[in-house]
Each structure stands twice: as structure tokens, then as C-alpha cells.
Amino acid sequence: MVMYRVEVVKKNKKRKMAIILLIMAFILIGLAVFGGIKLAEYEYLAKKPIDFTQKDNNQNNNNSYQGENKLNTQNQPDNNNSNNQFINNSEENGQNNEVNTQVPTENEPLRNIQTLTDEQINAINSIYKSNTKRVFLTFDDGPSSTVTPDILDILKNENIKATFFVLGTMVKSNPEIIIRERKEGHYIANHGYSHVYKKVYENKNKPLEEYKKTNELIQKALNDPTYQSNVFRFPGGSNGGYYNDIKTQAKEILQQNHIAYLDWNALTNDSAGATTEKEMLSNLKSTSKGKNSVVVLMHDAPNKKQTAKTLPKIIKYFRDNGYTFQNLYDII
Ligand SMILES: [Zn+2]
């Protein structure tokens, strides 16, 4: 029994040894194959002239670079063409400009009044008196990118010039709209900078300060340091309310600086309450009824989309009732 056990143990040992040798052999074969491949690669790279490979790569790069150059050179005639197109375009523009000068509504002259005379200020102060039926469409609190372009499109289609009382804070963010307003013959007037009553009416000098700040921003947006807005609209109106005393004193200061101010005598109430076309038209009709000279208060602030939507009906209403459309340039 003992011998048998020894034999079994010996046999097991032999088996184990055989398995270990087999595994080692596999490992060695594996290493040899892997090493051979690596060696072959190394030899291949070593045999390959380094200069040639680099040259090859460079050539490829050069080719591709030259290709870009070629594309560029191929593009150059295109560029030249586009230059030609540009010249052609500017020639066309020149032709267009000639046409436009023949049709003044297409390209309005850029207007600017330096300092208002007493007569001009009087004309604004007596805006509500007129023998003929006339209406001034005015828009406050803009320009906004969401509403003002729609209003400008409608006014352009209807060939109507309006007056925009712009806010300094809005002018800053939408200079291109101010430029468009001016190009299309609208009057850019001044509604101050902050529209925060506490700030605008902090003391009697603040309205003028807000006017000046906004006037500078308009000049900057228009890239015209000579532009003067000349007419101020008090936020909340020039009369009454908690700040009436300050407003009264501020009016004198504005007058001393040859700056006019303008309120309104009709409204859609789009700033407070009216949110539908029906309500706006109803407010407009009731507030303008029986008036020969109408100054309509509306708003082109970012959330006044309904005002733009209602505008065609507002225009139709005044047209149907025999009014002509004017802006401040028509009376000063
Ligand atoms: Zn306002």
C-alpha cells in the first residue's frame, strides 16, 4: 500500500511537471512569436531610410499644404470674382442710390436738428391744436429686437413716419434698430435712461441728466456725434403723480436747455391693462374721439407684441377717419 501511494505521488508529480513544462513552452513560443514580430517591425523600420520616410511624410504634408495653396490660388480668381462682384454690387448700389434719390420714400435723408428754436418748441407745445386731422404715432420704451422691427416693417409698408421715444438702456443693446429708425425717416426722441421713477425724479436735475445720457447713447448708436433728440417724454407723463413738483421744476430746466417735452392725448393702454386687439382699439377710439390732432401713446418694449399685431388696424382706423400721419419732423 505504501509503495503504491509513493508511485501515485510520483506519477502526480510527473504530471504536474509535464503541465508546467507545457505552460512554459507555450509562454516561450508566445514570447518568441511576439518578439519575432517586434523584431521584424524594428528591422523593417531600421532598414527603411529615415530621411526617406520623413521626406515622404513631408511630401505628403507639402502636397496637402500645396493643395491648400492650390485651392487658395484656385480661390484667388474666385476672390477676384467676388471682388468684381463687390465692384459690380457697389456699382449696382450706386445705381440704386440714384434710383433711391428719385424715390425719397426708399431712402430718407438723415435728419438732424441741432438746437430747437423758440418757434419749434412752441410748435411742439401746441401740437394738439390743428385745423386738419392729423395723427402722430408714438412708441415708447424701445427699441426692442422682438417688437420694433415688426413695427418698422408695418410703417414702411404703409409709408408712415412715426416718433420713437427711446430708452437709453434699450438703445445700448439695439443700436442697429436705432440706425434703421433714422434711415427710414422716423423721429428718434428721448425717454430718458432708466425709466425708474425713483431715479428719474430723484431731484429736479435728474430728468435732464437722463436725457443727456440717452442722447449720448443715441449719438453713439448712430455713429453721429451731432445728432440731437431734442424732445423728451417724461416717464409716466409730465403732469401729476407723486413727483409732480420735481416734474414742474425739471420742465423749466429742460426749457432753459432748449429741450421740448411731449405727452399724448390718446392711447391704446398697451402699457397697463389692454392685452387684446379689441381692448386696444376700443381704448384708442374712445381716447381719440372728436380730436383733430392726435398723439397716440404706444409701446415697443420687448413684451409688446400685441401692439405690433394691432398696428395695422390702428392705422386703418385713422385712415378710414380721414387723418394724415405725421411725425415731429413735420411740425418743427
Ligand atoms: Zn415709458
Q: Structural domain of residue 243, as residue ranges?
A: 118-330
Residue 84 falls inside a structural domain = no
Q: Over its length of 332 residues, how does the chain's per-residue pLDDT go in tens digits?
A: 444 554 555 566 677 776 666 666 665 555 554 444 444 443 333 333 333 333 333 333 333 333 333 333 333 333 333 333 333 333 333 333 333 333 345 567 788 888 999 999 999 999 999 999 999 999 999 999 999 999 999 999 999 999 999 999 999 999 999 999 999 999 999 999 999 999 999 999 999 999 999 999 999 999 999 999 999 999 999 999 999 999 999 999 999 999 999 999 999 999 988 999 999 999 999 999 999 999 999 999 999 999 999 999 999 999 999 999 999 999 99
For residue 114, the tally of other CB atoms under 10 A from its CB is: 9
Residue 70 falls inside a structural domain = no
Q: How far is the CA of 110 from the centre of ligand 1 (A)?
A: 25
The pTM assigned to this predicted structure is 0.69
The CATH number of whichever domain residue 219 belongs to comes to 3.20.20.370
Q: How far is the CA of 16 from the centre of ligand 1 (A)?
A: 98
Q: How far is the CA of 218 from the centre of ligand 1 (A)?
A: 17
**pLDDT attached to residue 10:** 57
Q: Across the chain, where does the E strand assignment appear?
A: 134-140, 163-166, 187-190, 231-232, 260-261, 266-267, 293-299, 324-326
- The set of residues, in sequence order, having a beta carbon less than 8 Å from that of 178 and lying 6+ positions away, is 143, 166, 171, 188, 218, 221, 222
Residue 106 falls inside a structural domain = no
Residue 113 falls inside a structural domain = no
Residue 50 falls inside a structural domain = no
Q: How far is the CA of 5 from the centre of ligand 1 (A)?
A: 110
Residue 300 falls inside a structural domain = yes
Residue 44 falls inside a structural domain = no
**pLDDT attached to residue 65:** 30
**pLDDT attached to residue 192:** 98
User: Cell 409732480 maps to which residue?
Assistant: 244
Cell readout for 189 is 426722441
Q: How far is the CA of 13 from the centre of ligand 1 (A)?
A: 102
Q: How far is the CA of 64 from the centre of ligand 1 (A)?
A: 61
Number of domains the chain is built from? 1
Residue 128 falls inside a structural domain = yes
